[in-house]
Amino acid sequence: MLDCDVSIVDAYKDDMSEKDFTLKLKELKPDIVGITVLFDQYGPSGHLAAELTKKVDKKIKVVMGGVYATTNVELVLTDKNIDAVVEGEGEYMLRYLVGLHRMGRWNEQIHLKGSRIYDLDSIPLPAYNLIDFSKYSKSAERKSVDSPRLLPYARIMTSRGCPMGCSFCQVKIIAGQEFRPRSSESVLKEIRWLKETYGIKSLIFDDDNLLHDKKRAKEIFQGMIDRNLVMPWVSIGLAVFKLDKDMLDLMKASGCEYIAVAIESGTKRILKIINKPVNFDYARKMVSYAREIGIYVAANFIVGFPTETWDEIRQTLNFAEDIGVDYAKIFHLVPLPHTEIWDMCGGSNNKFKWSKGNIESKEFTSDDLTILRAYEWDRINFSEPEKRKRTAKMMGVSEDELNTIRRDTLNNACNLVRS
């Protein structure tokens, strides 16, 4: 075991300027700075952090990992301010780099590929003692239906890897296609620890595969009931085909208030292209039953897939409206590096933008998708007074605030098209 002092700096949460970040580095005087970038679109911020670090002291070793470093490794390796790039899982790799630095054997840029960790129970509980946890747990994101409203809350991951292989998703690139779960006992231990140590009153289950192993999922939910750990919880990306009535009943009994199900398209042809095994009739039944027993339901839909026609886009929007969810999330496709969809769209030969529709075809332009997405989102979710009232409650805002969110969303779409 390596003994070293660790500090965590969340520049985003603390709204740090470049000057603030520089001053923090001078205060901490680190030997190694690890930078994680969670999403591809934030890559430039990671490179800026590396540059600022080297300006403070060229002797500081800079390590970059996370989603962006894993999916854009060739680009990251061109940055001379970065001394090591870690693809994949970094827990053991960072420990290796610390040892290398202490031995004085870190003399050139290093590219490491983190091996998959199969015994996830061996990883210690998160070191929340290194941060002001209340800044996270007591400030649920308003304007989002995905956040619990009872505070304080915490997020929890129960597995890594995804066996589904959706063609637009990077998870299989980042974490592999083999499902690697924590044991139900490990998950319940963390929930109890969060409750007793931090007074947590609600949870977000972050992983998309919470229900992949139904036996394990039922052990978790039943364990929450048996061990007095029932509390409001939400899950933000469940596979609808993993739901059944018995599972939903147990989820509700353990505290489930809200789920988001990943449906993505309302046409069988597009579902086949994106490797999504959704049965429309079954999805309707599960959504209806979940709402019947008092669970709020949202569903994710994407428009603008390559080869998609206007008729197919309209079918998806019609299904989003007709399936009967409490809230329909409608996204325009953004091809993510090294996915099958990325390759279908020309991959690195195209310069995709993160904030607006990207795909062009004989039937639609990227501007078409940007406007369509915003106005159909508004029409489907807010055309009726009861829907507006329900969504405001789910978001934790007043109806006046909801109207402001709607107006800003539509205006932003128009401004993007004009830009």
Is 10 a domain residue?
no
Q: Are residues 212 and 81 in the same domain?
A: no
Kindly report the CATH number assigned to the domain that includes residue 378: 3.80.30.20
Question: Can you tell me which residue has the tokens 């199969």?
Answer: 118
pLDDT of residue 1: 58
What pTM value is reported for the model? 0.93
Q: Are residues 206 and 287 in the same domain?
A: yes
Q: Are residues 90 and 134 in the same domain?
A: no
Alpha carbon distance 262, 284 (integer Å): 13
pLDDT of residue 142: 72
Alpha carbon distance 372, 388 (integer Å): 20
Q: Are residues 60 and 173 in the same domain?
A: no
Q: Are residues 263 and 366 in the same domain?
A: yes
Res. 340 pLDDT band, cuts 50 70 90: very high
Is 136 a domain residue?
yes
User: Per-residue pLDDT for 358 more than 90?
Assistant: no
Kindly report the CATH number assigned to the domain that includes residue 46: 3.40.50.280
Domain that holds residue 184: 120-418
Q: Are residues 150 and 190 in the same domain?
A: yes
Is 41 a domain residue?
yes
Positions of E strands within 287-367: 296-303, 327-332
The residue among 91, 138, 172, 189 whose CA lies nearest residue 341 is 172
Alpha carbon distance 114, 96 (integer Å): 11
Query: Where is the domain boundary, 87, 114, 141?
Result: 114
Res. 346 pLDDT band, cuts 50 70 90: confident
Q: Are residues 108 and 125 in the same domain?
A: no
Alpha carbon distance 168, 305 (integer Å): 9
User: Per-residue pLDDT for 212 more than 80?
Assistant: yes
Instruction: Look at the chain and report how many structural domains it folds into.
Output: 2
pLDDT of residue 418: 85
Is 3 a domain residue?
no
Q: Are residues 22 and 156 in the same domain?
A: no
Task: Give the pLDDT confidence of 154-207 residue by residue, as tens digits.
Answer: 999 999 999 998 999 999 889 999 999 999 999 999 999 999 999 999 999 999
Q: Are residues 360 and 258 in the same domain?
A: yes
Is 144 a domain residue?
yes
User: Per-residue pLDDT for 267 more than 90?
Assistant: yes
